[in-house]
Amino acid sequence: MENKIAVIAIIVSEYNAVETVNAVLHDFRAYVVGRMGIPYRQKNVNIISVVLDAPPEILNSLSGKLGMISGVTSKVLTAK
């Protein structure tokens, strides 16, 4: 199956979840083009944008794993 270019937006609202999110992203590092993290201290959240070049099943797997982490919200946007 052909790879898709995608962006995953991640909001981490529980500090304890940061290590787990980073571990999951590390597991998918072969597909990561780049990432940007912004700590928004005034609101006690961390915002991460990750650009990927991956098959749809990999994007779905990553999104699912992130969605199972307590205190984490994520959404995937794929290019047409």
Contact 17, 24 (CB under 8 A): no
In three-state secondary structure terms, 42 is helix
Is residue 49 within 8 Å of residue 9, measured between CB atoms?
yes
Mean pLDDT (whole number) for 10-24 = 95
pLDDT of residue 80 exceeding 90, the answer is no
Residue 1 has pLDDT above 80, yes or no: no
Q: What is the pLDDT of residue 24?
A: 98
Helices (H), the chain: 18-27, 56-67
Residue 73: count of CB within 10 angstroms of its CB: 13
Q: Say what the pLDDT of residue 41 is.
A: 94
The CA-atom distances, in angstroms, between 14 and each of 27, 43, 70 are 21, 11, 8
